[in-house]
Amino acid sequence: MYIRIAIAAVLLVFAVGVPTVQGSSGVDCSEVHYNATDPYEVWNIDQLQCMEPDEDYGIQSDIDASETSGWNDGAGFEPVSAGNESDEFSGTLVGNGHNISGLTVHRPREDEVGLFGTVASGGSVSNININDVNVTGDENVGGLAGKVEENAEVSDVTVDGELSGNSTVGGVVGANNGSIIGSASRAAVTGDTSTGNLVGVNNGVINSGNDSESELPAFAAIAILITFLLAVAAVIVKKR
């Protein structure tokens, strides 16, 4: 019986992959492996960190990302596909409804900051819950992605936590030029310019529960309504 248990344990390890030992330098992707293709299976934060820009992935379990707060000398998780245009994510990531919890990305001098740097044309990210995120960047900052390009799609993504940057900061996406469908944010978002609950700046298509590009339009609408009501009240008083 003990032999059977040992064999089962070994098979389980091979099935989910072996997380690498973390230090201040983060993940050594040469030591990270995936156990299937089309799509590659993602079981842990190491495999999430090491995704290639043009491959297809599926998350197979909830992922605890809290250890990322100690990665890379405090800079945390490195946005997937960060860097030049050839590194932008044009593959697919299907979350299968799983949670990614406790992700830290602390890169206040960098642009395109989030779980992904940029989701490029043809790229797709769907059905993921990103919980208790802590993301800091400069320009184009989002819980899921700093930027989503034209002909890229984000669908059924939720985000909560805290995000901050200088400009173009959104709960799910910083700068959207693609499509955002069925997504929502409960994150606290702060920045100097162009901030929003869902996106910081939208030049694409949004079909979501809370698709406000910025907090300013809501206040402006309230101010207009109050002004209108005061004007109506003044007319009524004058007629009397």
pLDDT confidence of residue 81: 87
The answer on pLDDT for 3 being more than 80 is no
Are 73 and 102 in contact, with CB atoms under 8 Å apart?
Answer: no
Query: pLDDT over 70 for what percent of the chain?
Result: 79
How is residue 67 written in tokens? Answer: 């250890």
More confident residue, 2 or 138: 138
What is the β-pairing status of strands 179-181 and 56-59?
unpaired
What is the arithmetic mean of pLDDT over 92-109? 99
User: Per-residue pLDDT tens for 197-239?
Assistant: 999 999 999 997 654 444 444 444 455 567 777 876 776 766 6
SS3 61: coil
pTM for the predicted model, two decimal places: 0.79
Region 163-178 average pLDDT? 99
- In this prediction, residue 36 has a pLDDT band, given cuts at 50, 70 and 90, of confident
| DSSP strands (E only) in the chain | 40-42, 56-59, 63-64, 92-94, 99-101, 104-106, 116-119, 124-136, 139-142, 145-148, 153-164, 167-170, 173-176, 179-181, 184-185, 188-190, 193-196, 199-202, 205-207
Residues 14-20: what's their mean pLDDT? 44
151 vs 129: CA distance, rounded Å: 22
Contact indicator for 139, 109 with CB cutoff of 8 Å: no
pLDDT for position 174: 99
| pLDDT score at 240 | 60
CA dihedral (50, 101, 74, 194) positive or negative: positive
Please tell me whether residue 76 adopts helix, strand or coil conformation.
Answer: strand
